[in-house]
Amino acid sequence: MLAVIDYDAGNVKSVVKAFRALGQETVLTRDPEVILKADHVVLPGVGSFGACMERLERYGLVPVIRRVIEEGTPFLGICVGLQLLFEGSEESPGVRGLGIFKGKCVRFSDKSGMKVPQIGWNSLKIAPESRLFGGVSDGAFVYFVHSYYAKPEEAVETASCEYADTACAAAERGNVFATQFHPEKSGAVGLQLLRNFTLMKKEA
């Protein structure tokens, strides 16, 4: 069973629909017991970093997420769900993230003259060792909607994109995976990533 965490942080119907299209038993829940029993857990996110963290804390989900990750359950963060895995963000000064990965999130540079947020399709530079991107070719196009991106301070970045800056597009370490883009809106490439995630096994 796959649990998509429901914490009022955007429309998650497309995420649930994508996993179900892959034949995955999927539930949308904020029930800690259900989340802890799941074989895979997904943290989506739309909106501001601070508002998303506030909702996770309000529903008592921060310790649940930490326990899921500590127990080795495959975990996937999507969009702001990726950003929350880091220590903080310029978008919400003073708000602490989950701190699973070292580093903070920053806003795209305005000096480039490019419109912020980045909305639309962009190509990826993919690290060949990534497990999440198995079967996906370097240069594949995926769909983004974001103004901020993570700057990892450790070797967890597995894909990047070029927009106003060179930005982290995906990260992974152990049982934790994350994408800044929306795989559920990225056609066949996105479905391949989600399929790869469902095949991940719990780590001892």
Residue 182 lies in a domain: yes
Rounded to 5 degrees, what are φ and ψ at 43?
Answer: -115, 100
pLDDT value at position 110? Answer: 79
Residues noted as catalytic: 79, 182, 184
Residue pair 173/156 in contact (Cβ under 8 Å)? The answer is yes
pLDDT value at position 147? Answer: 95
DSSP letter at 49 equals H
Number of compact structural domains in the chain: 1
Residue 31 lies in a domain: yes
| Tokens standing for residue 129 | 């060792």
Q: Looking at residue 185, which CATH number applies to its domain?
A: 3.40.50.880
Q: Is 25 exposed, middle or buried (0-12, 13-18, 19+ CB in 10 A)?
A: exposed
Residue 204 lies in a domain: no
pLDDT value at position 143? Answer: 98
CB crowding 59-96: b at 16 or more within 10 Å, else e: bebbebbeebbeeebbbbbbbbbbbbbbbbbebbeebe
Q: Is 105 exposed, middle or buried (0-12, 13-18, 19+ CB in 10 A)?
A: buried
Q: Is 11 exposed, middle or buried (0-12, 13-18, 19+ CB in 10 A)?
A: exposed
Residue 171 lies in a domain: yes
DSSP bridge pairs for 103:
152
Residue 170 lies in a domain: yes
- Reduced to 3 states (helix: H, G, I; strand: E, B; else coil), residue 191 is helix
Residue 203 lies in a domain: no
Residue 72 lies in a domain: yes
pLDDT value at position 11? Answer: 73
Note down the domain range covering 161.
2-198
The distance from CA 19 to its chain's CA centroid, rounded to whole angstroms, is: 15
> Tens-digit pLDDT profile for the chain (204 aa)?
999 999 988 778 999 999 999 999 999 999 999 999 999 999 998 889 999 999 999 999 999 999 999 999 999 999 999 999 999 999 999 999 999 999 999 999 877 778 889 999 999 999 999 999 999 999 999 999 999 999 999 999 999 999 989 999 999 999 999 999 999 999 999 999 999 999 999 986
pLDDT value at position 154? Answer: 97
Tell me the H-state helices in the chain: 13-21, 32-37, 49-58, 62-70, 80-83, 187-198
Residue 113 lies in a domain: yes
